[in-house]
Amino acid sequence: MQTENIPDIFYEKFILDELPLRRYKELLKAENTDKKITGLKESNSVILDKYPPEIICRSIKMRLKEKRKLNKLHILFPFFYSRKFLLVITAVFVLSFIGIIQIKYAGVSAKDSVKSGIETTRIKGLSPYIKIYKETKNGPVLLGNNSLVKINDILQLSYNSAGYRYGIIFSIDGNGTISLHFPEADTASALLKTGMEVPLPYAYELDDAPYFERFFLVTSNSGINVDKFLKYAKKLSLSRVADKDFNLNLPKGFRQSSILLKKGSNQNE
């Protein structure tokens, strides 16, 4: 193969290792290939020294920016009438429609959801709940009602507000001690986060209180007086709290979820 019959683009692709194997072998057999490639590399080096890529790139961006300003309407109008534009608009419309339908049938007002960024209506068919995970050597384990736990167990609490805005999470142990888990203080905001399941930012270590520890989640849309709830909890009978079917006597508009954990001996897992 004669070198003069081969376009320079093939040598450029040869240098960049972008040639098909067949064409690559042909260039290796061609006359003066080494000389041609050496010349191109030297030429490329001179050009790059004179016109560094970062300067060229900046110049191109500036020119494109100016060109877009001058030709903005010329660019946009053809797109508005293009098939791609129609597909984009159709997709946006369909997705928006599906989103509104999903919100509507979840029992949430689409208007309120967009306006406030917080669900203000309870999600239909879903009640607020609390979940407890115990840390083990093999990772976290979800605990059910009446699960057996022991002193020094590390527990991670999480909740699902199901659309309720305010909540309090507290526990009562076998000594009658009340522990507030959310909010962090009785004077702090009881505003809940939204999401399928929201973990508390810290874990809880069980102490040596005997018999049991019961965790409560109480939710409302009208606000919660945390201090008042804690005072109410201190007056509860421990024998009633330890009953598997126990429920707090709450005013209308409040919801509750609780998990009862039984205390066992401190044996190694």
Strands 198-199 and 178-182: unpaired
Question: How many separate domains does the chain show?
Answer: 3
Give me 207's structure tokens. Answer: 């102490």
Give me 261's structure tokens. Answer: 């954990």
Residue with the two structure tokens 């490639």: 37
- Helix (H/G/I), strand (E/B), else coil: 141: strand
60, 90: one domain: no
3-state DSSP helix/strand/coil % of the chain, to nearest 5: 40, 20, 40
254, 136: one domain: yes
**Tell me: the pLDDT tens digits for 82-96?**
555 455 444 444 444
Q: What is the pLDDT of residue 193?
A: 92
**Which stretches within the chain are classed as H helix?**
8-15, 21-29, 33-50, 53-70, 72-80, 83-105, 110-116, 226-234, 238-241
228, 134: one domain: yes
The answer to whether position 151 is within a domain reads yes
96, 191: one domain: no
The answer to whether position 212 is within a domain reads yes
- Convert 58-89 to b/e letters by CB count within 10 Å (16 or more is b): eeeeeeeeeeeeeeeeeeeeeeeeeeeeeeee
Q: What is the pLDDT of residue 61?
A: 58
146, 230: one domain: yes
Residue 259's domain spans which residues?
129-263
The answer to whether position 178 is within a domain reads yes
133, 252: one domain: yes
Residue 128's contacts (CB-CB under 8 Å, 6 or more residues apart) are: 159, 160, 161, 162, 164, 167, 217, 219, 255, 256, 257
- 260 DSSP 8-state letter: E
The answer to whether position 269 is within a domain reads no
Q: What is the pLDDT of residue 55?
A: 59
Q: What pTM was computed for the model? A: 0.54
Give me 62's structure tokens. Answer: 């500036």
Give me 41's structure tokens. Answer: 């590399």
Q: Which residues of the chain have pLDDT under 50?
A: 72-77, 79-81, 85, 88-124, 267-269
> Is residue 204 packed enough to be buried (19+ CB in 10 Å), middle (13-18) or exposed (0-12)?
middle
* Region of residue 262 (phi > 0: left; psi between -120 and 50: alpha; otherwise: beta): beta
Distance CA(139)–CA(158), nearest Å, equals: 16
Q: What is the pLDDT of residue 66?
A: 61
Residue 122's contacts (CB-CB under 8 Å, 6 or more residues apart) are: 107, 162, 163, 164, 221
Q: Is the Cα torsion angle 68, 71, 74, 77 positive or negative in sign?
A: positive
Q: What is the pLDDT of residue 207?
A: 93
227, 139: one domain: yes
The answer to whether position 121 is within a domain reads no
